Structure 1
């Protein structure tokens, strides 16, 4: 989950300085803070009975996390044992073995829920001004209902938008190859398609809006990353400073939404039946707020609610989709991966499930990813640039996150009529 939500922007720029400051503050802070976990838990790479991680273990998290996680797997997970592992700033996490998965998934949210963990991760009290945008999750519950009970009403519109987004950004030239920045292109395609579900036409095709929305989402994640480096007692100060640009982006986003929100309120106050409402999540959210959260039916709060919904629908698929394309293009020709997938895309759309604490946007993400792969492989030829010599550039580790290669390129050409 963290790997899909973290951004390399804040971690690449000034990462070493943040890591060093974090380590110094952490060493001072740990002397005055309890571990917060059972004394029976082992600490990775520490002697039995140790209560705190050494500076070398924390350094290994920042600069050689792959090796640290290999030790977690080899020495604990494979043996069915939990272990405590250092993470960002002064945080610690319990790594459960696979044998505990059934137990974890069976626990009710009151015992093992995701929203409290997400609240700690995102630190929304600083960037959005109130933790309720993560703790009071009514838009997510509403989205879950829409995406499970009413999904058929949205599929055709989402598919239409995906074709428009892909054809616009990948091009329609059947004669010449175009070289694309894969990550940026996929980000904008996913953003546009997710926005079709969230706010509908014409806003989902407004390039300025799409860039602004993505920068606001990036700001939430960047602020969370910077604030997470700091000990708890410093987070109010660090969080306020780190969120200053995010607040500016939110103000611009509010200005973009304001006339749309007012028009939607006018629709709700008219004599028209709800069946004639615009078919998008925003309208569902506003109807719900009108009946159940009237104090939130104003531009500032609805902007933040919609931003958090978009984070799930738009941000998560970017890295997954980029990696899928890179892996497909890199597949051995002898296995005929692309031709097999093209054949399968013509007749199948596989569905896979999740646990009870899964993100409600997974249903939309499932359809997005599969429809995108299907449309791309059916209508485009894709290859690596010549300078890659037919080899996929390796992913990169940054803390515990694994990202697609930075600025990775692909070459695309529209296939002749098929």
Structure 2
């Protein structure tokens, strides 16, 4: 391969290189330090379970800076990473999320254009969530776990739009959507420890993503069945039709089974909750520092 001329760590042969890969996964810092001392800053490569990582010294950074756009490619690296992560999403959540992401267009077109319609519900839910979770009395100071509190507030406000009342108040539903992103990331990290040809087999043995999907189906099944029944009975004359995100997905008439809609509901929550959470908690502002300080007390 193109990397054969670069010194390697550990074994080079195909089966034995996995021994080095597992050592690197468990003790990367020590291996990198030993290689850096051995090769005196020269480039070297270390095997992971599905690719090689080339490590360069400080003296080679200038060469990278001088390289042209058609040599090292950030776009190709990003594409490679996205394809790898997309494959894991296919196994952990379902291939339809990538192959037919119609839920994205529903968000862009309907939710964006009708934010004014949802604003009163979102405002009401945020206000209610703050009162219940903070439970402040007599304007007294109180320590709260910042990340968990903000996550639940965002989850409740988002789901007031996505699934509506009363499910957005359900503690198990909130816990599921708050933890699902972490569970999927944990399972994805486990898959990263295995070569590509073993990923389909290993993914079937990972419990967290599958358990989360089963919990979501349990909550959503009554809602989906009821709305399909009402849609069939009322047709276009359904005047008090819900305008939640789940109803909009059903209205697209691309999927009608709970097992098809549940992954999309979890994926939408996955994105909305954690993007907003990271945006607010990682701002370098007095408010952010106060929340961080409060969470550490």
Q: Which moved more, 1:216-225 or 1:193-202?
A: 216-225
From the CA coordinates, give the structure whose radius of gyration is larger: 2
When residues 315 and 83 of structure 1 are mapped into structure 2, their CA distance, relative to the original with a 3 A threshold, is: farther
Aligned to 2:16: none
When residues 185 and 234 of structure 1 are mapped into structure 2, their CA distance, relative to the original with a 3 A threshold, is: same
What are the superposed Cα offsets for residues 38-63 of structure 1, whole Å, 9 maximum, x if unpaired? xxxxxxx875xxxxx612999xx99x
Q: Give the Cα separation in 1 of the matches to 2:259 and 2:217.
A: 6
Instruction: State how many pairs are aligned.
Output: 258
Superposition RMSD in Å: 3.9
3-state secondary structure, aligned to 2:164: coil
285, 288, 293: which one pairs with 1:384? 293
Aligned to 1:327: 285
When residues 382 and 322 of structure 1 are mapped into structure 2, their CA distance, relative to the original with a 3 A threshold, is: closer
Q: Is the 8 A contact 1:165 1:189 kept in 2?
A: yes
Q: Does 1:95 align with 2:74?
A: yes
Q: Does 1:409 align with 2:290?
A: no
155, 165, 182: which one pairs with 2:129? 165
Q: Does 1:192 align with 2:183?
A: no
State the 1:249 CA deviation. Answer: 2.3
100, 104, 109: which one pairs with 1:140? 104
Q: Give the Cα separation in 1 of the matches to 2:276 and 2:59.
A: 29
Q: Give the Cα separation in 2 of the matches to 1:175 and 1:78.
A: 59
3-state secondary structure, aligned to 1:120: helix
State the 1:220 CA deviation. Answer: 2.0
TM-score by length of 1: 0.53
What are the superposed Cα offsets for residues 174-204 of structure 1, whole Å, 9 maximum, x if unpaired? 3422111111111111111111111111111
3-state secondary structure, aligned to 1:55: strand
Superposition pairs for residues 25-36 of structure 1, below 5 Å?
Answer: none
Q: Give the Cα separation in 2 of the matches to 1:299 and 1:240.
A: 20
**More RCO (CA 8 Å, sep 6+):** 1
Q: Give the Cα separation in 2 of the matches to 1:201 and 1:249.
A: 21
Q: Is the 8 A contact 1:181 1:409 kept in 2?
A: yes
Greater helix proportion: 2
When residues 330 and 166 of structure 1 are mapped into structure 2, their CA distance, relative to the original with a 3 A threshold, is: closer
Q: Give the Cα separation in 2 of the matches to 1:54 and 1:281.
A: 48
Q: Which moved more, 1:158-167 or 1:137-146?
A: 158-167
What are the superposed Cα offsets for residues 47-89 of structure 1, whole Å, 9 maximum, x if unpaired? 5xxxxx612999xx99xxxx99x999987569875775xxxxx
Q: Give the Cα separation in 1 of the matches to 2:165 and 2:287.
A: 33
Aligned to 2:256: 297
Q: Does 1:316 align with 2:203?
A: no
Question: Where does structure 1 lack aligned partners over 5 or more consecutive residues?
Answer: 1-18, 25-44, 48-52, 85-93, 97-103, 105-112, 332-380, 386-407, 411-418
TM-score by length of 2: 0.71
Q: Give the Cα separation in 1 of the matches to 2:60 and 2:280.
A: 28
Q: Which moved more, 1:139-148 or 1:210-219?
A: 210-219
Q: Give the Cα separation in 1 of the matches to 2:193 and 2:143.
A: 37
